Amino acid sequence: MEVKTFPITSRTNSTALKQPKELTSYNRTKDGSYLMEPQSSPSYYYFPDAYLNKGFNLSTGYKSFEKFPDTAPMDGFLQAIKLWEQQHQKKIDGNIISFRGIMTMLVTLPHAIDKPFDLNVMYFDGQIFLKLDQQSETAKRAQETQDRMGGAGRVSEEMLDKFTYSGYKFETLVTLDKPWADCSRKDIEGRDAKVVSNAEQYLSVVRTGIDKTKLILGGEVDCVFDYKPTVGDKYSGKDGILGHYVELKTSKTIEHVGQAINFEKKLYRTWAQCFLMGVPKIFYGFRDDNFYLRSIEQFKTEDVPLLLRDSNLPRHANNPKNRKISCMDSLKWFGAVLDWLGQVVPKSDDVAVQTNTVYRLSFDKVQMKFYQLPTEESTRIIQEEPVLTSEFIEWRKQLKAGK
């Protein structure tokens, strides 16, 4: 097994960025099925300033949380791509196809060198498909939970669950299923009593790019701020669909500098997330230790790099964890690592080889590694957590044959 490595100190010189553009969108429903365009619909942000005085608690309803396993299967995403390709009668134009979350991990790696990960990679039909390895991800999360529950400053499992819950609760609290004008007062005022579920998602499929690499990304979008423009309607604005999206986040209240420095790291990850998808607005809900929502702050994605660069919070200079965050530097790394990946993936012409070979891209706290997985492991992955669906493979074959 030949392992190729890539040091995390690598950087490109240029960071030519492409403006992200939405290609299509889809919903994942409560029962795990998908709604493709034009049935797909986002949520809408509505939470006026005065509502912050009402003292909402983000743990309310925790007991009735409808929790679905937090995996990211490729099927809906690939289905949406297929649909787009059917409509446009051409292959989607991108070198790498992946969920946005994976790209976020890559972008923010320079400031998360203590966090290893494992990705499964397939090369198919001229494109690279990436997916998180669920097995190692699950193990990693279990370990994290263990760590937090033990040792100093430990928290109970219930607390951990509440932390998770409060994020979804916040989303439920501040968004509406329909535009405000179409909602009844009851819809709006009854949100605190609504059952929170993490199953329903709205996802956008976006084309973007850095340097020479073109990316097709799928990612969840929390809500729309005002409205979603209709493609081709000259009256609803040229700023595109992505310009109306909002990313929602929660954080513990910030009361001292240490927390602020931690928050900056969080904000940095959020920035990467939004930057990749071209989401321009970030709303952070701050909850206190008792989960009361205390404040909401609004950030412009494009302002975050400046905010982080100009942050003059007092830091301990000798603690590398606390060093100032440079978003620009992260992008240079990101460009470099994608470029390397493009080169390092073997490009076989044989479709049978393509669809049966799984590679591993991983980070081990020191460097990036790339290698081909043994057949046994490949088979497990293809069967249990496939990177490509057979439907998609079939479709691409058809598309090729059609041409």
**Residue from 155, 231, 257, 306 binding other proteins (CB under 8 A):** 257
Q: How far is the CB of 277 from other proteins (least distance, A)?
A: 20
Report how far apart, in Å, the C-alpha atoms of 117 and of each of 149, 244, 292, 298 are: 22, 32, 33, 31
For other proteins, which stretch binds (CB under 8 A), given 33-41, 137-145, 177-185, 322-330?
A: 177-185
Long-range contacts of 46-54 (CB under 8 A, 24+ apart): 46/174, 46/175, 46/176, 46/180, 46/183, 46/188, 47/173, 47/174, 47/296, 52/293, 52/294, 52/295, 52/296
Q: Shortest gap between Cβ of 44 and other proteins (angstroms)?
A: 8
Q: How far is the CB of 263 from other proteins (least distance, A)?
A: 5
- Per-residue contact string for residues 291-330; x = within reach of other proteins by CB under 8 A: -x-xxxxxxx----------x-x-----------------
Strand ordering across the sheet containing 223-224: 175-176, 44-45, 223-224, 245-252, 281-287, 293-300
Is the bond preceding 38 in cis, omega lying within 30 degrees of 0?
yes
Smallest gap from Cβ 22 to other proteins, in A, equals 17
Nearest CA to 269 out of 235, 231, 312, 301 is that of 301
Rule CB under 8 A: choose which of 123, 165, 263, 370 binds other proteins.
Answer: 263
When the beta carbons of 163 and 227 are compared against other proteins, the nearer one is 227
Which residue, 234 or 403, is less far from other proteins as judged by CB? 234
Alpha-carbon Rg of the chain, whole angstroms?
21
Nearer to other proteins, 4 or 294 (CB): 294
Given 33, 89, 232, 256, the residue binding other proteins (CB under 8 A) = 256
Q: How far is the CB of 108 from other proteins (least distance, A)?
A: 18
Round to whole Å and give the CA distance between 138 and 118: 11
Q: How far is the CB of 315 from other proteins (least distance, A)?
A: 13
Min CB(166)–other proteins separation in Å:
14
Question: Please, what is the angle between helix 100-107 and helix 327-344, to 10°?
Answer: 120
Buried b (16+ CB within 10 A) or exposed e, 296-313: beebebeebbebbeeeee
Q: Is 363 in the site for other proteins (CB under 8 A)?
A: no
Which residue's CB is nearer to other proteins, number 125 or number 187? 187
CB atoms within 10 A of CB 162: 18
Q: How far is the C-alpha of 240 from the C-alpha of 320, rounded, in Å? A: 39
**Distance separating alpha carbons of residues 311 and 323, to the nearest angstrom:** 11
The CA–CA distances, whole Å, from 148 to 156, 219, 267 equal 8, 28, 21
Helices (H) and strands (E) counted in the chain, each on its own, are 11, 16
Binding of other proteins at residue 144 (CB under 8 A)?
no
Question: Of the ranges 50-58, 68-76, 269-277, 391-399, which one interacts with other proteins (CB under 8 A)?
Answer: 50-58
Residue closer to other proteins (CB basis): 171 or 264: 264
Does position 179 interact with other proteins (CB under 8 A)? The reply is yes
From 46-54, 319-327, 362-370, 376-384, give the range in contact with other proteins by CB under 8 A.
Answer: 46-54
3-state SS class at 169: helix
Position among 1, 50, 317, 401 found at the interface with other proteins (CB under 8 A): 50
Residue of the chain from 93, 144, 158, 255 that contacts other proteins (CB under 8 A): 255
Residue ranges in 222-251 that form contacts with other proteins under rule CB under 8 A: 225-227, 229, 233-237, 251
Amino acid at 59: S
Opening angle at CA 163, ends 161 and 164, nearest 5: 65
Binding stretches for other proteins (CB under 8 A): 44-50, 52-55, 179-182, 184-185, 188, 225-227, 229, 233-237, 251, 253-257, 260, 263-264, 267, 284, 286, 288, 292, 294-300, 311, 313
